[in-house]
Structure 1
Amino acid sequence: MYKFPNRQTWQGRVDSKIDKDSFRIHQRVICNSTDDDFESAFCLVGFESDEGVRRNKGRIGAAKAPDEIRKSLGKLPYLFEDTASIIDVGNVVCEGESLEAAQAELADRVDQIFNKRSTPIILGGGHETLYGHYLGIRKYVGENTSIGIINIDAHFDLRQDSRPSSGTMFRQILEQDKQAGYLCLGIQPFGNTKSLFQVAEQLGCIYVLEESLALHNIQKQYGVIDQFCNQYDVIIVTLCTDSIASSAAPGVSAPSPFGLDPVVVRTLLRHIVAKENVCSFDISEVNPLLDENGRTTKLAAYLVAEVLHNFNNTVQ
């Protein structure tokens, strides 16, 4: 089901109604359907789903995240160029257990956004968001274009379960799409079984362990990222919030005590999304029902703002 954007979600402090340099994001966001006429915009599309998390035996609540992230994002200063329009195009809603139908709907909306020469910024939802995101990219670029996926995550999400879930997406993609590749940043040894490491090797995944991504040596991993990006025509970026240390991001389905520092995640995103072949971004696994004083939601909003600010060097 597709739900139109709600203007009332975008509220916050107003320092001026005239001086654009004093505006906050909520004052500049435009609410449209993906069926409306627009082009050359960042399009925020939500995916209200935690059915994949439920199937993966995780803690549900991520379906509430898209609008909560919007509320925090809207309060931040608008630091972008006037040409960098931000359009809220509403949410795709997973009704009941109909995850596959919701992922197909998200794919259609992502395809529509690309056809309007715009950039999808997807607010999940469980990490099953990524599969619908990927389907939309593949639909738009066709079968002969190679797609690289960069996932910032504590987990491989390469499980082989009886039904697709938030833990199966990358295996689904890699087994059905020989033109796709996978780089995972932030993998935690105690977050993945030996079997999953073996599957990662078998499927040709590239990964960097969490302990190799400390702030003082993060630039050593830029070579891995750059080489991966150079191998593919287009790059999808996906951030699973459970990759971040639970002290900073308590409101997630699977907290990580030894997760990444938020500054490391911000630094990685700045480097990655500035690349010319990066075409889209999603953030997943924020769970407002488990959050403490909105800390994780606010962090997610700041990270989305960083992506908007640094995407392909189109905004200052």
Structure 2
Amino acid sequence: MYKLPKSHFWHGRIDSKTDRNSFYFHQAIEFLGTDEVPVEGSPFAILGFECDEGVRRLGGKPGAAEASNEIRRHLADLPYHLGDRKTIDTGAVMCKGDAMEKAQRELGEHVERLLQSTIPIILGGGHETAYGHYLGVRRFAGPEAKIGIITIDAHFDLRDAEPPNASSMFRQILEADANSGVLALGIQPLANTRTLFNKAEELGVRFVLAEEFAMGNIQQAQSVIDAFCGEHDAVFLSLSMNALSSLYAPGVMAPSPFGLEPAIVRQLLWHIVANEKIISFDLCEVNPELDEHGKTAKLAAYLLAEMLAAFH
């Protein structure tokens, strides 16, 4: 079910009511339905995906469905460093009951519509968000386009898809779509069984282990990213907050003691979104019910603001 945007999530301090260089996000944000966005200027279009049914199917604690609004609240009070580029809140797609697949299809319809003239920013939700995101990108790009997915995550998300869940979507995509590819950054051996590593090899998933970033090999990863983007016609980015160390991101379904440092993720985001092949982005797996004083939602908002400012 689609819901129009609500302005009451966006409020904060005001330094000036007229000088755009002094604005915060809550002052710059605009509110439009997905069928009302402008056709010029390539604005950012924020769309929530209020769904954690995929997490529930894995036995995880519900709560991620509320994350998009928590991230909005934290983003609202950050300085707006995007110049004249517009950011539009376009509302949210909500999963009713256990109808996750229907919600994913609806998300795809709205993403396809937004891609006509904007850069969609989808705020999940569990990581099942990425499947609905993919459906929209595929519909927009057409059946013959080579679609790349860069995921920053501790997990491969290649689990069995019966039923589909928050850890099956990349397997669903790769097994059904020969013109798709996945690059996974931040993979952790203790978050994936040997069977999942074997499945990644079988499906041609490229990956960089989290420990390689800990050893300072970010330049090598950047080269892998550039090569991957060069092989695809369009690429979208999916960030699962459980890729980050649980010291900084405790409010997720599967906290990662050996996760990535925020500074590393920020560098990765800077590099990825500077590539002109990137057409959209999703951020998933924040669970306000598990968070400590909003720490994870706040970090998500900071990473989102950094990404928006660096986008090509």
Whether the TM-score (by the shorter chain) exceeds 0.5 is: yes
1:70 paired residue number? 72
2:111 paired residue number? 110
Q: Would you say the 8 A contact 1:47–1:92 is kept in 2? A: yes
1:34 paired residue number? 34
State the TM-score, normalizing by the size of structure 1.
0.97
CA apart distance, 1:16: 1.2
Larger deviation, residues 128-137 vs 206-215 = 206-215
User: Measured at CA, do residues 269 and 37 of structure 1 come closer, stay the same or move farther in structure 2, by a change above 3 Å?
Assistant: closer
Aligned pairs for 1:11-90 (under 5 A) are 11-39=11-39, 40-82=42-84, 84-90=85-91
Q: Residues 233-291 of structure 1, C-alpha deviation per residue, up to 9 Å, x if partnerless?
A: 11110000000000000000100000000110000010001001100000000011111
Q: Residues 99-133 of structure 1, C-alpha deviation per residue, up to 9 Å, x if partnerless?
A: 00000110010011012x11100000000000000
Structure 1 position 92 matched with structure 2 position 93: yes
What is the distance in 2 between the residues matched to 1:222 and 1:243? 17
One-letter identity of the residue aligned with 1:91: A
What is the distance in 2 between the residues matched to 1:12 and 1:198? 48
Q: Residues 3-29 of structure 1, C-alpha deviation per residue, up to 9 Å, x if partnerless?
A: 110011110001111222111010010
- How many residue pairs match? The answer is 310
SS at match of 1:107: helix
CA apart distance, 1:215: 7.0
Q: Residues 125-168 of structure 1, C-alpha deviation per residue, up to 9 Å, x if partnerless?
A: 00000000000000111101000100000000001142100010
User: Once superposed, which parts of structure 1, at least 4 consecutive aligned residues long, lie more than 2 Å away?
Assistant: 214-217
2:220 paired residue number? 220
Structure 1 position 297 matched with structure 2 position 284: no
Q: Would you say the 8 A contact 1:25–1:74 is kept in 2? A: yes
Structure 1 position 287 matched with structure 2 position 294: no
1:177 paired residue number? 177
What is the distance in 1 between the residues matched to 2:97 and 2:47? 20
Q: Would you say the 8 A contact 1:215–1:264 is kept in 2? A: no
One-letter identity of the residue aligned with 1:109: H
> Which segments of 5 or more consecutive residues in structure 2 lack a partner in the other structure?
none
1:157 paired residue number? 157
1:187 paired residue number? 187
Aligned pairs for 1:247-262 (under 5 A) are 247-262=247-262
What is the distance in 1 between the residues matched to 2:131 and 2:283? 12
What is the distance in 2 between the residues matched to 1:307 and 1:262? 13
What is the distance in 2 between the residues matched to 1:195 and 1:100? 26
1:274 paired residue number? 274
SS at match of 1:216: coil
Q: Would you say the 8 A contact 2:161–2:169 is kept in 1? A: no
SS at match of 1:44: strand
1:246 paired residue number? 246
SS at match of 1:130: helix
Percentage of pairs with the same residue: 53
What is the distance in 2 between the residues matched to 1:248 and 1:151? 19
Larger deviation, residues 207-216 vs 132-141 = 207-216
What is the distance in 2 between the residues matched to 1:37 and 1:197? 42
